[in-house]
Amino acid sequence: MNRMLEHIERKLPLAELVSLLLFLVFVPLIQKVNFMQNDDWNRTTSVIRFLHGDFSLIQKTATTFYTQGILGCLFSLVFGWKKLPFLTLLFSVLNFYLLMKILLNHSNLSKIKSCILSLLLFFTPLHMYSSIGFMTENYTLFFILFSIYFFLSYEKRSKAKDFVLFNLGGLLAFFSKQNGIIIQVASIPYFLLKKKYKEALMQSFFILSVFSCYYFLFPRTDEMKDKDFLFENILNVQYSYSLVYGILVVVSSFVLPVLFNFVLSAYLSKKKDIKLILILIASSVLCFIFLNKWFIPGKISWEEYPYFENTFERTGFFPRSISGTKYQFRWNYDLYKYWDAVSKILLSLTIPCLFLYKKKIINIYSISIVGYAILMIFVKTFFDRYLLPLIPLFILFFLYINPQLFFAASLSSKVFKMFSFTTTLTSVLFVLFTAFLSMQMSIDFVLTNNYVWERSENLVNSGTSPSSIKATMAWEKLHGLSSKPKYLFSFDDYVKNPGLRNSYSLIEKKEIDYPANIFIDSAIYLYQEK
């Protein structure tokens, strides 16, 4: 086994091989994406407009979009706009690849451990959801990771080329989505703290130029103006606290092995100082009590984990796009109950341990995380997919303050081997868990939307007006919806919603089934107006 692992470390281009494998594995699923969903109806139709020479943004567009749009336009010139989901899949795989390269080149992790942590990002439900269709988040994340890579290269080599590429990545990220420039903004206080005043001045000028361009030259849409910051949110203490703590809990839930390894490493490194260990435990108990005492999740969205709307919810991906109450999967309640509890416990254990590394707490990652969390307080409507950039930042933050997160080389050889085995095992098991859950939700989401969209198009081809079909949220955004639709797709049967009998006749039931399906009574119903 050791020889095989050594061979992998030395000989195999693991990042490239796993990236290729991920792409090939997901091709069959992406081939079934014949629909638009959530906001990607806007993105896709914008690319179609670009292809016809109209580069103006739809007024319902809230993101800066042009980076994603131009990439989509160039791709569509070769493959056609209906293949855009494959471009999204490519960028999703590149996110895995870039994070792995960051870990390999800028940490002391091995190829295998770098791969495991990068898969942690790839299989996060939010990342998996955004890999379907033509959503913006994974494109923005790619350029954020691109920025981080060259920021770290500049820190290591101080070459002007790296500094330029760092800011180029930020520019491209910003003109994909406004929050993409977070690393560049965070670099200003970082450079000031490092007494790199020239870099801080250049970054200040760069950020000022970008925002001046956005507010005075960029063709801002009505949606962008409508979604400007609500600074009065800061006065709502319960909302602000619940939002920030909710962000920490949910992001922690996606990187549990990192927190577990960090806490375990911290306790083992101080195992001889019993007094300190007791102080850490007592502090963690107090953290858990007080952090959760003031947490009112109903202030931000849902009362239960995963708290935020609207893509990763308890019944799957974006369930409220289709009418009715969506079916659930087995062990739903227990899974989320314990996932939430473990996340809160590990977060409470982690916070006191941070002070063992107080000299390293302030860094580019922590500044970015704090800045981003504060920024989210002022957002008009917070959606769960806004959390995605924080996941690699959390991973990199904990690796920075404790580079021996997976090694703990100061331990005795016997304890070291046990520690290394435990940290690797927990990481692998968690990746397998998130991969399985995300795959289940992805397949279910694609098959349900594939059926609804294809069946709706068949109805249109048979003479039905598109606005007379209540299909999905994206269908309604694209075609409009009459006050009393002729056809209705719903997760509800007559038992769930007896009122349907009064107005609609059931004409078709589509069972959603696939190998290892964990969903219970998974079906969609098509009704026709009586």
Using one digit for the tens of pLDDT, what is the confidence trace for 22-71?
999 999 999 999 999 888 999 999 999 999 999 999 988 889 999 999 99
Q: Is the pTM of this model over 0.85?
A: yes
What's the burial of 130, exposed, middle or buried (CB within 10 Å: 0-12/13-18/19+)? buried
Q: How many angstroms separate the CA atoms of 317 and 315, rounded?
A: 7
**Quick one: pLDDT at residue 409?**
47
Which of 52-56, 229-233, 504-508 bottoms out in mean pLDDT, i.e. has the lowest? 229-233
pLDDT digit string (tens) for 237-258? 899 999 999 999 999 999 999 9
Phi and psi (nearest 5°) for 359? Answer: -70, -20
Question: What tens digit of pLDDT does each residue of 180-225 get?
Answer: 999 999 999 999 999 999 999 999 999 999 999 999 999 999 888 8
Q: Does the pLDDT of residue 404 top 80, yes or no?
A: no
pLDDT of 3 higher than 70: no
d(CA 440, CA 331): 13
State the pLDDT at residue 231. 79
With 0-12 / 13-18 / 19 or more C-beta atoms within 10 angstroms meaning exposed / middle / buried, residue 271 is exposed
Q: How sure is the predictor about 462, in pLDDT bands with cuts at 50, 70 and 90?
A: very high
pLDDT at 384: 93
User: Residues with Cβ < 8 Å from 271, sequence gap 6 or more?
Assistant: 277
Distances from the Cα of 450 to the Cα of 79, 227, 280, 328, 487, angstroms: 21, 31, 51, 19, 17
Question: Quick one: pLDDT band at residue 387, thresholds 50, 70, 90?
Answer: very high
pLDDT at residue 281 above 90?
yes
Q: Report phi then psi at 312, rounded to 5.
A: -105, 100
Lowest model confidence (mean pLDDT) among 107-116, 227-236, 335-344: 227-236
What is the percent of the chain with per-residue pLDDT over 70, rounded to a whole number?
95
List the one residue out of 293, 264, 245 whose CA is nearest residue 404.
264
3-state secondary structure 2-31: HHHHHHHHHCCCHHHHHHHHHHHHHHHHHC
pLDDT in tens, 86-126: 999 999 999 999 999 999 999 888 888 999 999 999 999 99
Whether the predicted pLDDT of 345 surpasses 60: yes
CB 417 within 8 A of CB 3: no
Max intra-chain CA distance, the chain: 78
Peptide bond into 13 cis (omega under 30): no
75-94: burial string, b at 16+ Cβ within 10 Å, e else:
bbeeeebeebbbbbbbbbbb
Query: Quick check: 405 pLDDT over 70?
Result: no
Other beta carbons less than 10 A from residue 194's beta carbon: 14
Please give the C-alpha separations between residue 117 and each of 51, 398, 440, in angstroms, as whole numbers: 38, 12, 21
Give the residue-averaged pLDDT of 360-384: 93
- Please give the average per-residue pLDDT across 334-354, as a whole number: 96
